[in-house]
Every structure is written in C-alpha cells, then in structure tokens.
Structure 1
Amino acid sequence: MNYEKLAELSPQAVIITGEGTWRDAQEMLDRFGIKVIVINSYYTDQFADNCRLIGRIFGREEQAEELVNYFNDKLAYIQKQLQGVPRRSLYFEYRTLGKTAVPGDYFYKMVEYSGADNIFAAAKGSQVDQEAIIEKDPQYIVKVADANAYSSYQPPTIEEEKAIKKELVLRSGWAGIDAVRNDRILLLSHYLHGGASKLVGTIYIAKFLYPEYLPELHPEEVFKTWLEKYQQLHYI
C-alpha cells in the first residue's frame, strides 16, 4: 500500500482482505484517522457475514440480505436433498498436481458444502502425493484451472480445457482411478469457481456429484445471475 497516497486521499476507511499485512495497515493508517476494515472473501463460510457487514457499511442492508438469501436458499436446497444420501468420494485439485482442499484452506468449505466426501478431509497439508490420490481411488475429480491456464474473467479456451483434461487422465497410474475410468471429471475456470466466496463453485460441484438428487439446482443460471445482477458484468 502507498500510505502517503491513502493519507492524501483521506478516505473514512480502507477495506482490505484478511490475507497479508492488515495489522501493518491498521497501525499506519490509524495515524491519519483512517479506519481499516477487514473483509476476507476467500472463505466460503464467511460469505453471509461479509455481505451483511458490507451492507451495514454502505447502508445497503436490504440488498445485502437479498444476496445472502439468494445463495443460502441454494445451500439449504442442497442440504435438504442430500439428507441420507451416501456421500460420493471426490478429489479436488487446484491448478497443479496434488494441490488439494484440506481443513482451514480456501477451498475446504466450498467442497464440504457440496456434499462431497473429500478424500483428503483429514490431511495435514494441502499438497499431497500422487500415490495417495491413486490409492484413495476417488469416484469424482474436480479441477480448477491449471498452471498453464489460470484465466480470470475470460475463461480458458476449449483447446486449453482439452489440454488440461488430457494431462490429468494421462498421468502415471491414473488410468485405473474410478473417476478417470468412468470419465467423471469436472473442470472449472478460476473465475467461475470463486464466485460469491466460492459458493458458485459449491453449486457446480454439488450438481456434478448428485444430479439426480438436485433437479431444481441449475449452476449455470446461478453463475449468470451472479455475473449480470450482482457483479453487473456481461455473461460469458
């Protein structure tokens, strides 16, 4: 942060993520009477609280509650429909081989809320060995982006997606994995999966895993609404 420039602009407050040096920012900006507000949008389970906080800050409580309810309704539907349904095992991968979702990281709650049986829910670190993935033999695989196709608002091209999938299925020893044998692989773009603190990602994963139990859940409609109505962006 350029603290001198911020002091010159003299805002009432600065909103920053919970990642990084917010304590340093708080110490520096307090000298100028500028408040620091921490809103961490990375974690799925903090979405509702963050929305309501932003609503209070800007005097938009009703709009904030509408947004919260829009996604909470989808989560409630998923939970209701999946009651008593045997959980299907999932390996989640973020960009590179073995980078997965474990308790406390950015992706864990996104996967948990989908109803998946996360094969690495008990892992101590987010980087796992390829042999461990093969041994756990997941029924489903979800991969977000890739080291060679990170992308943002513009999604990877069809050619890039095909290359991502080809690399995945041709990995040594992966031909015998249940998800690979049965072609149960979902590729998500980086921008899409992160929508609404990754709740858009949750909805896509839930539908991918349990389509027969979630007939009224339409991920692409949710993504479109999030883009056009709430982000005010052109739908791609």
Structure 2
Amino acid sequence: MKQIALLIFLILMLIAPAIAAETDGNVQVGEDELVAMVLAFLSGGSGAPDLAAVQDAAAAYRPAAGIVTDSSGRTHAINAAPSRIVVMNGETLETLRSLGVDPSIVIGIDKYSAERPSFFPEYAGTAVVGSIWSPDYEAIVSLRPDAVFLYATTSKDACDEIQKKLEDTIPGVQVFRFDCYHPGTYAPEIRALGTIFDRKAEAAAFAAFYTGTLDIIPARLSGVAEADRTRVYLENWKDYKTGSSGSGYEEKIRMAGGRNVFSALQTEYPEIDPEAVIGTGPDVIVKLIGAGSYDAGGYDNEDVGAIPGYYTGLTERSGWKALSAVKNGNVHLLHNDIFGGPEHFIGVVYMAKWCYPEVFADIDPAEIHRRYLTEYQRLAIDFSGDIFTYP
C-alpha cells in the first residue's frame, strides 16, 4: 500500500505546477506521515489536505535514517532522533546514559527511577509519569512526547495497554519496547537504541565492552566438562527462593560457568525446603541482597551495617556448617544492583571469579564496575564505601 501511494504521489508531483520553494528546516515529515497525507488527499474526504499542503509535506519529507526492530518484534522507521521522550523503565534510562544520549530530551520518567536520585541525579527535576502498573496518562499526554519507551516482556499486557492508549491519543508518537536487562537481547538492544538516537559509534563501543567482558568467561572455560563445573546454589532476597531451568537465575549461573544445583525442579522460581540445600552440597552459595528483608547496600548505600549480620545468619543456618561452600569460605552476598538490570554482566563476572578463582585471578570485577560507571555512565560516584558484594 505504501509503495502504491508513493508512486501515485510521485506522479502527482510531476503534474503539479510547482513544489513549495521553501520549508522550515526544523520541520521533517516521515514516510508514514507523508503516505497518510497523500492517501487522505486522494480520498478527497472532509478534512482532506489540499494540494499545497501535500506539496509542503513532500518538501519536508526525509527518508528514514534507519530501521530498527524493538524487542517486541515491531519494526520502526527512524526518520530523526527523538527530541522529547518519556522513559518508563529505568533499565532503558540507564542504557541511554551509556550511549551518551542528552538527558535534556528526557521529559518524563517512571516513579521508580525518580526514587533513585543518587543514581539518576540529572533527572531530579524531570516530570514523573507513574509506572507501567499505574501510568499517569494525563501527565504523559501533556508532555507531548515524540517517543515513549516501555518494557517488551515485563508486564507485557500492561505495557500493551499503555502503548495502545498512547498511540490512540498522541498523534505521531512512536512507542518503543525494550527490556534492557535480559542477557540474550541486551547487545542488540544497545545497537537498536544507538540507531534510534544517532549514537551508533557509542553503541558499538558500549556493546563491545559488554560482550567483551562476558566473552572472557566461556573462552577460558571451554575445556571444562559439564560434570566438572562448579555447583552453585543461588538464593534471592527471600529465604530459600531460587531458580530452576529456564529462569534468569540459571541463565546467569551458566553464563558464569557454574551448574545450578536446582536446575531440575519444575517450578521456574521455586521455594525449596531448607534440607534440600544440604542434600545438594553446593560448592558456591550466592545470596542476593538489595530487597525484602535484605534491603541494604548498593547505590543507595542504606544500612550497610546490617550486611555482616546477613552473612552470619546465612552461614549459621542449621546444618550449613557441614557444607563445603561454608567450610571453604565460598558463601557470598551479591547486591541486585549489579546482578539485575543492565549491570547484570558485572555480577556474572563476580560469580565466575567465585566459581573459578584461579582461572580468573587476573580479572578484577570491581575495576569493570568502575569502568562502567565512569566511562559509560559518566558518573562521578565514589562507591568505595558502598557494598555490592560481601565479604
């Protein structure tokens, strides 16, 4: 349909007396908008544009600078970098900063990003538009964004509804769907965002840093048989809640070169019996902190004095003193700030080093973390007093 409409439009332009001589250089018309105008003109219905308006639109037409497919599978023509955006997930907001996207174009953010002023100081005065679970539609519409960013797979139904309402309400708005936390899709998402914001070189550099950091692990462990891989028990901030095959937890354990001791369980994120851990005899135990009853440390750096107590409580669980992981000092606390979200690769490197300390003796996860914050996040954060891992 688009090709036919454009062909008709070209014929129309040939027989028209003249095209508009001048246009405002700041006005650009994309393919979808131009085709819609041509079809409306040809229909001749009420409210259809006249020939002069169509000619002006043709003069302002700019071919797409790129084509991107977001993580929902939708393809978008990028005619120009968005200049007024609302970002409703902090993972995408963080990734945009890694690409050096000008924060002044961000005119609205989600409530959870707004609640992290120490990590997102540049957005202290930015409008807050609720969350994907409770969006403030009135606020979003009033901001007149040209692009809105939502999750692709997290709370998909809620984000689908937001997308539909915004596309029905805001003329010409582009709604992009990116997660920016899944290891399997993060590098392509980085590159797609680089195309959207005309930051391809920056995206290539950051993607190379991200993939290069992770690629070291399988390269060095290629000779380690599955049966010989380090056995890992990973527990989140809820006691005895872990992940099985297909879970994000297992994915990251495997990325670190480990073997999940609860891989065979049927439930993706099961709560296990305390005795089950003793029965599996893990070589390494990793406990996630940063939420629930273990909400300390990380970038917010709150109540770090409680963290040693978390560790002691873990190692002194009934029967755990007999575990090799406890006896050998291979029990670790890991903050979710560097295990979830865009920074998951940092936590994976920490786990790889805990699983294979001799193999990765020359790798410093804290230095990788520092590089990420200074070179890509461009943050002047002194996190020497923060706790992301313990001990």
Q: Structure 1-normalised TM-score?
A: 0.92
Query: Out of 111, 134, 139, which is 2:278 matched to?
Result: 134
Query: How far 1:112 moved relative to its partner?
Result: 1.5
Query: How far 1:193 moved relative to its partner?
Result: 2.5
Q: Partners in 2 of 1:158 and 1:27 — Cα distance?
A: 43
Query: How far 1:50 moved relative to its partner?
Result: 1.6
1:56 is aligned to 195
Query: Out of 147, 159, 166, which is 1:29 matched to?
Result: 166
Query: Out of 118, 130, 139, which is 1:5 matched to?
Result: 139
Relative distance call for 1:108 and 1:158 in structure 2 (3 A) is same
Query: Out of 352, 367, 387, which is 1:206 matched to?
Result: 352
What are the equivalent positions in structure 2 for 1:111-130 lying under 5 Å apart?
A: 111-125=253-267, 126-127=269-270, 128-130=272-274
- Helix, strand or coil: the match of 2:148? strand
Contact residue 114 and residue 205 of structure 1 kept, 8 A: yes
Contact residue 238 and residue 293 of structure 2 kept, 8 A: no
Relative distance call for 1:226 and 1:101 in structure 2 (3 A) is farther
Q: Structure 2-normalised TM-score?
A: 0.57
Q: Partners in 1 of 2:136 and 2:313 — Cα distance?
A: 42
Q: CA RMSD in A?
A: 1.8
One-letter amino acid matched to 1:154 = D
Q: Partners in 2 of 1:148 and 1:29 — Cα distance?
A: 37
Q: Partners in 2 of 1:206 and 1:147 — Cα distance?
A: 26
Query: How far 1:89 moved relative to its partner?
Result: 0.3
Contact residue 190 and residue 203 of structure 2 kept, 8 A: yes
Number of residue pairs aligned between Structure 1 and Structure 2: 236
2:220 is aligned to 81
Stretch moving more, 78-87 or 146-155: 146-155
Contact residue 45 and residue 109 of structure 1 kept, 8 A: no
Contact residue 181 and residue 342 of structure 2 kept, 8 A: no
Larger Rg over CA atoms: 2
Q: Partners in 2 of 1:129 and 1:50 — Cα distance?
A: 38
Structure 2: runs of 5+ lacking an equivalent: 1-134, 384-391
Contact residue 95 and residue 144 of structure 1 kept, 8 A: yes
What are the equivalent positions in structure 2 for 1:86-97 lying under 5 Å apart?
A: 86-97=228-239
Contact residue 337 and residue 343 of structure 2 kept, 8 A: no
1:235 is aligned to 382
Relative distance call for 1:105 and 1:229 in structure 2 (3 A) is same
Query: How far 1:108 moved relative to its partner?
Result: 2.9
Contact residue 181 and residue 341 of structure 2 kept, 8 A: no
Q: Partners in 2 of 1:14 and 1:44 — Cα distance?
A: 23
Q: Partners in 2 of 1:207 and 1:8 — Cα distance?
A: 49
Relative distance call for 1:136 and 1:115 in structure 2 (3 A) is same
Query: How far 1:30 moved relative to its partner?
Result: 0.9
Corresponding position: 1:176 with 2:313 = no
Q: Partners in 1 of 2:223 and 2:338 — Cα distance?
A: 29
Query: Out of 35, 42, 47, which is 2:186 matched to?
Result: 47
Contact residue 213 and residue 345 of structure 2 kept, 8 A: no
2:124 is aligned to none
Relative distance call for 1:163 and 1:129 in structure 2 (3 A) is same
Stretch moving more, 174-183 or 22-31: 174-183
Query: Sequence identity of aligned pairs in percent?
Result: 28
What per-residue deviation string (whole Å, max 9, x for no partner) do you get for residues 195-217 of structure 1? 63511110110011112112332
Query: How far 1:158 moved relative to its partner?
Result: 5.2
Contact residue 43 and residue 109 of structure 1 kept, 8 A: no
2:293 is aligned to 148
Q: Partners in 2 of 1:210 and 1:155 — Cα distance?
A: 29
Q: Partners in 2 of 1:7 and 1:52 — Cα distance?
A: 28
1:224 is aligned to 370
